[in-house]
Structure 1
Amino acid sequence: MDWDDLRVFLAVARAESLSGAGRVLKCDAATVGRRVARLEAAMGAALFAKSPQGYALTEAGGRLLPHAEAAEAAMTGAAEALAGPDGSLTGQLRIGAPDGCANYLLPQVCAEISDAHPGLEIQIVALPRVFNLSKREADMAIAVSPPSAGRLTVQKLVDYQLHLAGHEAYLATHPTIRSRADLSPHRIVGYIPDMIFDKELDYLAETRAEMVRLASNSVSVQMQMLRAGAGLGIVHDFALPFTPGVVRVLPDDIALSRTFWLIRHADDRRSARLERLATALGRGMRREVARLEALASTGALAASPTRISGAA
């Protein structure tokens, strides 16, 4: 059995289509189809069932999957064993994260990791949804809630704070806010209710508002709405230093705490490379959240990212 054929098998199993696998493997769908057919002939069994929805694993394919994943882990381990003598890491690392984390935290943290490991290719995938690690959409994912199912390992990264906020120009031209009771005439910016992908992101009850008047599924868009003087919204403290003029409102009364979790496929715990990267990511996230929240509490602006020592 050829490892390259197993690699093609894994790509199709995860993408559930020949074209999707081809994009991952950087080859055309016809070539992927021929490789699958060759593997099926060698195995003497159909590994995929084709339907209008795509390629689904057959019973035989399901039995092959864990063995193919084990082979993949072994190949990765062999590459790690041959890494450079300076201990630097190479290869690709894809991190999936909610867009608030991806926009305001990961650029600085990943820059430091990249400095320590110049041969590493880091990709940040910012999507307002939960990542499917079983399909290898990412090597590791950051989430606001720990998953309750799946062959995954979960590690707490860092707690972070959120407050109600608005732009100084908006606050200067709208009714004064001294308590929650004063919020009713104010326009609320927040998530699109039916697109909230995690219960931890449902902040509406904290503002006592009946509905969000200006909404987006993106934290960055919400922040730009506040920056434009559109209203009030619950925002991450670590984002405030990047949004001049946006300040906390009722900080002693409306304060939330949430947690970022690092999620990985269970098999990846055997990878020394990914263990080192997970450690560096966690260390960097904790330092950067602490730095930015300190700036937010003093009203200072982050002119440029601070270098985080000890990236790995």
Structure 2
Amino acid sequence: MDWDDLRIFLAVARAESLSGAGRRLAMDASTVGRRIARLEGAVGAALFLKTPTGYQLTAEGSRLMAPAEAAELAATAATEAVTGEAGLTGQLRIGAPDGCANYLLPQVARDLCDAHPGLEIQIVALPRVVNLTRREADMAITVSPPDAGRLMVQRLTDYHLHLAGHADYLACHPPLRTLADLRGHRMISYIPDMIFDRELDYLSATGVEGAQISSNSVAVQMQAVRAGAGLGIVHDFALPFAPGVVPVLTDRIALTRSFWLVRHADDRASRRLTLLAEALAQGIRAEVARLEGPRPSARDGRA
């Protein structure tokens, strides 16, 4: 059985579509389909069932997953044994919540690519937890540690958030001295039923029941705050990217959260991914510290 056919089989099983597998493999979907048909002919069984929601594994396909993944690990180990330190090349796909993806990972990716010119980094910013079991990414950054699955979890660093508004908005609205003063202000936050992790429920810290402007994207929320649309809980590490946005009520509203690095347990044997995980962790920690700088001082919201 050809390893390259197994590689394509794994991509389809994880993407649950020919087109998704093709994008990951840089291959035309019709070619992926032909290769799967060839593999099915070789094993004498259908490996996938095409359904309205995508390609689902048959019983025979499910039985092939474990040996295919073992072959994948063996191929990776063989490559790393030959390349050694120079193996920090090729593609690395990182899944992350969009706050981290927008404000931290671009600089970290730059530094990693500078240090390892043969490395290609893909940043997947999703408003949900990245599924490592389906290999949507090689590793993921999350805002809370997962409690299920065959995963390796490493705490990266704490980060901080504060209520903030643009100076122009604050100059035109009532001053902020207590939490009760928030009733006279427009709030910006997450869409409640699209909060995919309890750690993202920031609005509850303000005591305000609802937001007038909401989005499932941290970056969109920050842009709304920057546009003077209202007040929102923002990451301290995002403040350098938003001139004019200043923290308010810092003595009353101060949140601390953590980033976690998550990898599939089967990747433990990969020296390449372990080295890249260590470099990514160091980069995230350094970038959070650099961008947060000194803790923000309080401001009452008056011009």
Shared fold, TM over 0.5: yes
- Corresponding residue for residue 143 of structure 1: 142
Alpha-carbon distance in 2 for matches of 1:211, 1:24 = 40
| Distance 1:274-1:202 versus aligned 2 partners, 3 A rule | same
The TM-score with structure 1 as length reference comes to: 0.91
Shift of 1:242: 1.4
Letter of the structure 1 residue corresponding to residue 20 of structure 2: G
- Counterparts in 2 of 1:217-296, with a 5 A limit? 217-294=216-293
- Corresponding residue for residue 301 of structure 2: none
Alpha-carbon distance in 2 for matches of 1:170, 1:76 = 54
- Corresponding residue for residue 76 of structure 2: 76
- Corresponding residue for residue 200 of structure 1: 199
Alpha-carbon distance in 2 for matches of 1:179, 1:298 = 15
- Corresponding residue for residue 47 of structure 1: 47
- Counterparts in 2 of 1:123-138, with a 5 A limit? 123-138=122-137
- Corresponding residue for residue 170 of structure 1: 169
Letter of the structure 1 residue corresponding to residue 59 of structure 2: E
The DSSP-based 3-state class of the residue aligned with 1:132 is coil
The TM-score with structure 2 as length reference comes to: 0.93
- Corresponding residue for residue 22 of structure 2: 22
Shift of 1:103: 1.1
8 Å CA contact 1:240–1:296 kept in 2: the answer is: no
Superposed CA offset, 1:96-132 (max 9, x none):
1111101111111111111110111111111221111
The DSSP-based 3-state class of the residue aligned with 1:210 is coil
The number of residue pairs the alignment matches comes to 298
Letter of the structure 1 residue corresponding to residue 69 of structure 2: E
Alpha-carbon distance in 1 for matches of 2:23, 2:160 = 39
Shift of 1:27: 3.0
Alpha-carbon distance in 2 for matches of 1:230, 1:31 = 49
8 Å CA contact 1:238–1:296 kept in 2: the answer is: no
| Distance 1:185-1:298 versus aligned 2 partners, 3 A rule | closer
Alpha-carbon distance in 1 for matches of 2:171, 2:30 = 62
Shift of 1:174: 0.6
- Counterparts in 2 of 1:102-117, with a 5 A limit? 102-117=101-116
| Distance 1:298-1:253 versus aligned 2 partners, 3 A rule | closer
Residue segments in structure 1 that go unaligned for 5+ positions in a row: 300-312
Alpha-carbon distance in 2 for matches of 1:281, 1:252 = 33
The DSSP-based 3-state class of the residue aligned with 2:147 is coil
- Corresponding residue for residue 34 of structure 2: 34
The DSSP-based 3-state class of the residue aligned with 1:258 is strand
Shift of 1:19: 2.6
Letter of the structure 2 residue corresponding to residue 72 of structure 1: E
Alpha-carbon distance in 2 for matches of 1:32, 1:121 = 23
The DSSP-based 3-state class of the residue aligned with 1:247 is strand
8 Å CA contact 2:247–2:297 kept in 1: the answer is: no
Alpha-carbon distance in 2 for matches of 1:111, 1:171 = 35
8 Å CA contact 1:83–1:90 kept in 2: the answer is: no
Residue segments in structure 2 that go unaligned for 5+ positions in a row: 299-303
The DSSP-based 3-state class of the residue aligned with 1:130 is coil
| Distance 1:34-1:93 versus aligned 2 partners, 3 A rule | same
Percent identity between the two aligned chains: 70
Alpha-carbon distance in 2 for matches of 1:224, 1:30 = 41
Alpha-carbon distance in 1 for matches of 2:212, 2:66 = 48
Alpha-carbon distance in 2 for matches of 1:18, 1:180 = 53
Alpha-carbon distance in 2 for matches of 1:88, 1:242 = 34
8 Å CA contact 2:183–2:208 kept in 1: the answer is: yes
Letter of the structure 2 residue corresponding to residue 71 of structure 1: A
Alpha-carbon distance in 2 for matches of 1:101, 1:247 = 20
The answer to which of 4-13 and 289-298 deviates more is 289-298
